[in-house]
Structure 1
Amino acid sequence: MKRHLSLRPALPLAALLALAVAGCSQPAPPADNAPTVTGEPLATRAVMIGTEGPSLPACSSISRVQDGGTDVYWAPGETRAVKAKLAGGANVSLCEATEDDAWFGVVFAAPGTDPDMCGVGKSVPNAREYQGPCRWGWIRGGTVRLGG
C-alpha cells in the first residue's frame, strides 16, 4: 500500500509565515505612530459652553481663523483625526480654552448656514456640553485672531 503525504496541514502554516514576512516589509509608522489626517480619534471631548456663568453669552467671543486656515480636532491634544477644516477668515465662537491656551474649544456654522442659529450668543443657566445644531471641535491656540 502506497502512502500519500497530504500538504493540507502545511497550508495554514505557510499562510501564517507569509503574513509574518509581509508584516515585516511594511514601512515604519510615523513618529507619533498615527497619520495626521485620517483614522479614528483616540479621544473625544465635547466643547463646554456657559463656562463664564449665566449672565454672559454661552461662548465668550467671535473670532476669525487666521490666513491659511486650520484643522478642527475631536479633543484638545488629539491630532490623529481631523474632524473638519476651516478656511482662513472663517468665523468661530470661542467657548473654552485649555489652561495653557494651547487649544480652544470652538463652535462654528456649516458653510452656507447662519451662524446665529448656533445659539451660543445667548446665556445658558449652567455650563454644559454643546449639543448643536452647529459644528464644534478643538483648534490649536494661535490659529485664530481673537475678537474677529
Structure 2
Amino acid sequence: MKRPLSARPALPVLAVFALALAACSQPAPPADNAPTVAGDPIATRAVMVGTEGPTLPACSSISRVKAAGTDVYWAPGETRAVKAKLAGGASVSLCEAAENDAWFGVVFAAPGTDADMCGVGKTVPNAREYQGPCRWGWIKGGTVQLGG
C-alpha cells in the first residue's frame, strides 16, 4: 500500500538542503592568497603595530614589493608554510623588523580593497598585535623597496 505524498519522510529533501547550506557557508580563499606550501607553520607570531610610540603612525612606512613578488609567512624565520603571496608592486605597510632587518612584519589589504581601511596610518596609544581588518604576515628582508 502506498503512503500519501504528504506522509513520506522529508529527510532526503532536508539532507540536500543542509548540504547546500554547508557549501555556501565556507567560501573558497582567493586564488592569489591560497597557501601554496604543504604543512602547518611551526610558529606563528602576530605583527606588532605602534612600536615607534604613541605619536607616530602604527606602521612606520608604506613600501612596494619588488618586481619578483614575495611570499608572506606566519612568523619571522618560519618558511614551512606560505600564508599569502604578494605580486611585484603590491603595497605593504612595514610595521615591525626582526632579526636585524632579515624579516619585516607587514600589513596589507586584500586584492581589490582600499589600503586605508587597514588603519595603520593612525597612531595607537600602546604597541599591540595587529588584529585586522586587513591581512598581516612576515616577509623576508630585501623583498621590498623601502618607502617605495
What TM bracket, shorter-length normalisation? 0.7 to 0.9
- Indicate the residue corresponding to 1:57 in structure 2: 57
1:127 aligns with 2:127: yes
Which stretch shows the higher mean deviation, 95-104 or 110-119?
95-104
CA positional deviation for 1:39: 1.2
- Indicate the residue corresponding to 2:76 in structure 1: 76
CA distance in 1, matches of 2:133, 2:140: 23
- Indicate the residue corresponding to 1:38 in structure 2: 38
CA distance in 2, matches of 1:38, 1:105: 22
Runs of 4+ in 1 over 6 A off after TM superposition: none
Structure 2: gaps of 5 or more residues:
1-35
Amino acid at match of 2:133: P
Q: TM-score, normalised by structure 1?
A: 0.75
CA positional deviation for 1:99: 3.9
Q: TM-score, normalised by structure 2?
A: 0.75
Q: Counterparts of 1:1-148 in structure 2 under 5 Å?
A: 37-148=37-148
Name the larger-Rg structure.
1
CA distance in 2, matches of 1:101, 1:38: 27
Identity of aligned residues (%): 87
Aligned residues: 113
CA positional deviation for 1:37: 1.8
